[in-house]
Amino acid sequence: NAGVTQTPKFQVLKTGQSMTLQCAQDMNHEYMSWYRQDPGMGLRLIHYSVGAGITDQGEVPNGYNVSRSTTEDFPLRLLSAAPSQTSVYFCASGQRRGYEQYFGPGTRLTVT
């Protein structure tokens, strides 16, 4: 199993540009989440999904959209990038609530 994969690994955007961060898992997990990690703040939840077709907002959802058309994929869209979205983004998946989650390798995003 590849586990949780994320692409791209690095990305530089200009303010106002849009892009999609890709996340895929091959463990047939129902739960998938997106977190951002900023220095001194810990990981914070952006959006999550409890199954295909079901998504909801996390702690810091503004400026991001998600969709979940398949169990395997959970892309994160930045609609109009802002410097405040400069961060490292991690996708995670888990079998069920209360069980461990597995994280991808991350995408380092810089918005200039």
Partner 1 sequence: EDQVTQSPEALRLQEGESSSLNCSYTVSGLRGLFWYRQDPGKGPEFLFTLYSAGEEKEKERLKATLTKKESFLHITAPKPEDSATYLCAVQAITGGGNKLTFGTGTQLKVEL
- Site for partner 1, rule CB under 8 A: 4, 31, 33, 40-45, 48-50, 56, 58-59, 90, 92, 94, 97-106
Output the CA torsion sign for 3, 72, 107, 37.
negative
Query: Which residues have C-beta within 8 Å of that of residue 79, sequence separation ≥ 6?
Result: 18, 63, 64, 65
As measured in angstroms, the least distance from the Cβ of 85 to partner 1 is 19
**Of 14 and 96, which has the nearer Cβ to partner 1?**
96
**Of 73 and 82, which has the nearer Cβ to partner 1?**
73
Amino acid code (one letter) for 34: W
**Of 26 and 59, which has the nearer Cβ to partner 1?**
59
As measured in angstroms, the least distance from the Cβ of 80 to partner 1 is 25
**Of 3 and 16, which has the nearer Cβ to partner 1?**
3
As measured in angstroms, the least distance from the Cβ of 32 to partner 1 is 8
H, E, C per residue of 28-84? CCCEEEEEEEECCCEEEEEEEEEECCEEEECCCCCCEEECCCCCCECCEEECCCCHH
